Amino acid sequence: MNPLMAGSDVEAIDRLLSTLQENPNLVDLTALRRAILDRQKVDPPLLPMGVAFPHARTDSVRNIVMVIGISPEPIPFPGVAARLVLLIGVPKKAISEYLELTSFLARHLRGEHVLDGLMSAKDIEQFLSAFAVT
């Protein structure tokens, strides 16, 4: 996993979004960006331990997409400096999946051992296995 380098929340979001350009589940990158930034203005999903998960329900994705960013330096988001950023796009029709995913993340990202495992992950397998600690 490549480290996320960004000086602001918008720059972090843009860097993560850029990795989705070839994703077959992406319908419209510009619309996804707009939906995520609009959601950030209203109610930015942040956890006090340095985790941000900018996300949106939008028709600009066919299926759930998620991009993980781990930053060696804190990135300023409104109200918190984040080192772990999980960018998520969810189709509007996937209401139950959206609720399950966001509640899972909010619940599990509060655990210190989980967060330590996520932050030290070198690949996606290590990242996912960190959730098994809880």
32 exposed, middle or buried (CB, 10 Å; 0-12, 13-18, 19+)?
buried
pLDDT at position 111 is 75
> CATH homologous superfamily of domain 9-133?
Mannitol-specific EII; Chain A (3.40.930.10)
Q: Please, which residues have CB within 8 angstroms of residue 49's CB and are 6 or more apart in sequence?
A: 109, 110, 112, 115
pLDDT tens for 23-55 read 999 999 999 999 999 999 988 888 878 899 999
**Predicted structure pTM score:** 0.90
Q: What residue segments make up the domains of the chain, in order of their start?
A: 9-133
Q: Which residue has the higher pLDDT, 78 or 89?
A: 89
